[in-house]
A and B are shown apart, each in its own frame.
Chain A
Amino acid sequence: MPNPISNTTKGTGPVIVVEELRKRYGDIQAVDGISFEVDRGEVFALLGPNGSGKTTTVEIIEGMRSADSGRATVAGIDVSKNPNAVKQLIGVQLQSSAFFEHLKLAELLRMLGSIYRAKVDPEPLLEAVDLAERRSASFRTLSGGQKQRFAIAASLVNDPDVVFLDEPTTGLDPQARRLIWDLAKTWKREGRTVVLTTHYMEEAEELCDRVAVMDSGKIIAMASPAQLIDQLIGRGFHREQEVRLATLEDVFLDLTGRTLREF
């Protein structure tokens, strides 16, 4: 079903605009006045250590939390004023997702689709995350990696313009991580905007057009990975070790192959 609102998100220019966002939990200023924009079709990452405010920032943009002050808009819609209109446009993969018991994976996707008033064909979604053979399984019986992949399939039921992935590859084996990276690249080709948070720098380097580095609720650097690296080198930094032509992960993938191990 074509999304009637998605017309407004076509073209160029920023799809997400965040201005002076602040959020406080007790004594902790989780988000401390941050501003950034994400362009349409861009893959953008929030990087930072645990507790730096990445997840809180993303959840405010997703309409799941309210900000103390500041503004976040998606496709020109103010999240705090019309959260459901924003939620209709976006797909969300939470750090830890759970789904109804007693429904099969394929049914869960159709059920979620009905919330967006969309008729969902679960097969291509399950195939995209290599779970087609588990279509009749229940979510609880999946392994950790399979749960993560299903959560990503579930974020696509409404054919979203913007996909939010919160630490999508944490705890995954290299094969599953590659699968998710390939998915993100496909979405970019399809013109979707992808916002992700991650601890893995090679993930950000592999996928992202731009990254914002967060610490203590503030953005301390924002540019493309290449620019950030150039800036660092420009400040006189050089690695102790010679750059290797292959990494241990390349070795691992060469030895074990790229196909997924759990179905």
Chain B
Amino acid sequence: MLAKPAVYLTWWSIKMWSRDRAAMFWTFFLPLVIMVIFGLLNFGELGKVDVGIVDRADNEASKNFIEGLTRIDALRITTGTADAERAALADGKRDLVIALPEDLASAPGGSEIVAWYHGSRQTEARLGLTVMQSAVDELNFAITGAERVVTLTEEAVEARDLGYIDFLMPGVIGMAIMQLGLFSVAFSFVTMKREGVLRRLLATPLNPTSLLIAQVITKLIVVVIQTVILAAVAVFLFGAEFAGNFFAVLLAAAMGGAVFLAMGFAVSGWARTEQQAAPLANIVSLPMMFLSGVFFSRDVLPDILQRITDFLPLTYLVEAIRGMTVEGDTILMQWPNFLGLAVWLVVAFVIANRTFRWE
């Protein structure tokens, strides 16, 4: 007895997919190129040195000192409590944290400014420290003439090495899944519909669900392969962080894949030609590519836009993966993002079910 036609169809559709050069390009090559280019650019190293200042003295001398520092272009100065600033340093939001002692410029034997810096961000920290050293010298001069009454002590803090690639990898994985889900199904089904392939299948005893299942399984296998390749390149070539469970990330990827596949079916149901499918798929995907925190943090968006983009399916997907790879979160800890994806899956499935046509 032969196996269920759905199993055979899945096998054939994997075979077909593996011969599709265009699909290979869009699925593997393009996301890889994007990740390599953005990975090499490494936006994380651009810009100013982030210096956090803990002002324990809170006197005129310390105020003048800080005021002097804020006028230096190369530095971005923030002030806060010791705990907050050390935490920010650990999170990679500061390159250097300076603690001004309570007895700044008033201790008889001279006082000590402590500088913590990000061990992995030597370049930024050194730059900051050099600038800082001259500022300290200035302060010395101002107080005592030529005598050094204040010295600067450097102290490296072990902090997690978070770079742009760590942010980028989950973003590009999410983006690639979205593109695959939306475009592969939308285009192949519209083509099959327009050419009459689906009509020909309608003349066979094929259960339509079998064809859908075969397509979905094929594409989910591709999603997994795609995720593995992109993560491998990011981790082994660019040293990206991958703290969480690998299979949990694949589960999030597959779930996101299912959401965008359902959206792809909805698009292919509505569109009669590839010329109609292309703009619609782009209208859905383009805003998400830039508003769901793929290439840059949504923190830079205006508040209202942040609150709206919280609900985008790609936001849920990217943030779930990012939470796992960067923070080492478990699926349970990421439940709100999984719930978001689940809701989108239901919504997209209902729409696809309404719009999908065989002819």
Contact = CB atoms under 8 A, between A and B. Distances in A.
A188 B314 CA distance: 59
Interface stretch (A14-22, A87-95, A201-209, A233-241): A87-95
A64 B202 contact: yes
Interface stretch (B9-17, B31-39, B123-131, B262-270): B9-17
B20 A102 contact: yes
A127 to B, nearest CB: 22
A186 interface: no
A107 B19 CA distance: 13
B156 to A, nearest CB: 56
Given A114-B8, A117-B5, A119-B2, A102 B19 contact: yes
A64 B196 contact: no
B198 to A, nearest CB: 9
Given A103-B12, A103-B15, A107-B12, A115 B197 contact: no
B8 A112 contact: no
Residue among B1, B192, B204 having the largest count of chain A Cβ atoms under 10 Å: B204
A221 interface: no
Nearest to B13: A100
A100 B16 contact: yes
A114 B19 contact: no
Interface string B189-209: 001100111011111111100
Size bracket of the A interface:
20 to 34
A6 interface: no
Contacts of B2: 114, 117-119
A111 B197 contact: no
B194 to A, nearest CB: 9
A87 B12 contact: no
A154 B200 CA distance: 10
Interface string A98-115: 111111000100011011
Interface string A137-159: 00000000000000000100000
Interface in B186-244: 191-192, 195-197, 199-207
B206 A101 contact: no
A88 B203 contact: no
Contacts, number: 71
Given A111-B8, A115-B5, A115-B9, A98 B207 contact: no
Nearest to A101: B16
Contacts of A103: 12, 15-16
A154 B197 CA distance: 13
B204 A96 contact: no
Contacts of A64: 199, 202-203
A92 B206 CA distance: 13
A256 interface: no
Residue among B16, B196, B197, B203 having the largest count of chain A Cβ atoms under 10 Å: B203
Given A102-B16, A103-B12, A115-B204, A97 B196 contact: yes
A42 interface: no
A102 to B, nearest CB: 4
A176 B253 CA distance: 52
B211 to A, nearest CB: 9
Contacts of A94: 196, 199-200, 203
A97 to B, nearest CB: 5
Contacts of B205: 83-85, 87-88, 115-116
Contacts of A112: 204
B16 A115 contact: no
Nearest to A65: B202
Contacts of A161: none
Contacts of B200: 94, 97-99, 154
A154 B20 CA distance: 23
Contacts of B203: 62-64, 87, 92, 94
B133 to A, nearest CB: 65
A80 to B, nearest CB: 15
A96 B200 CA distance: 9
A4 to B, nearest CB: 12
Interface in B85-113: none
A216 B203 CA distance: 25
B15 A98 contact: no
Nearest to B203: A92
Nearest to A164: B203
A14 to B, nearest CB: 22
Contacts of B199: 64, 94, 98
A157 to B, nearest CB: 9
Given A64-B202, A87-B203, 14 more contacts: A84-B205, A84-B207, A88-B205, A97-B200, A98-B196, A98-B199, A100-B12, A100-B16, A101-B16, A102-B15, A107-B15, A115-B206, A118-B2, A119-B2
28 contacts: A63-B203, A64-B199, A83-B205, A84-B207, A85-B205, A94-B196, A94-B199, A97-B196, A97-B200, A98-B192, A98-B195, A98-B197, A98-B199, A99-B197, A99-B200, A101-B16, A101-B20, A102-B17, A103-B15, A107-B12, A111-B8, A111-B12, A114-B5, A114-B12, A115-B5, A115-B8, A115-B201, A116-B204
10 smallest CB-CB distances across A and B, nearest first, come from A114-B8, A98-B195, A92-B203, A84-B205, A102-B16, A87-B205, A98-B196, A102-B19, A117-B2, A98-B197
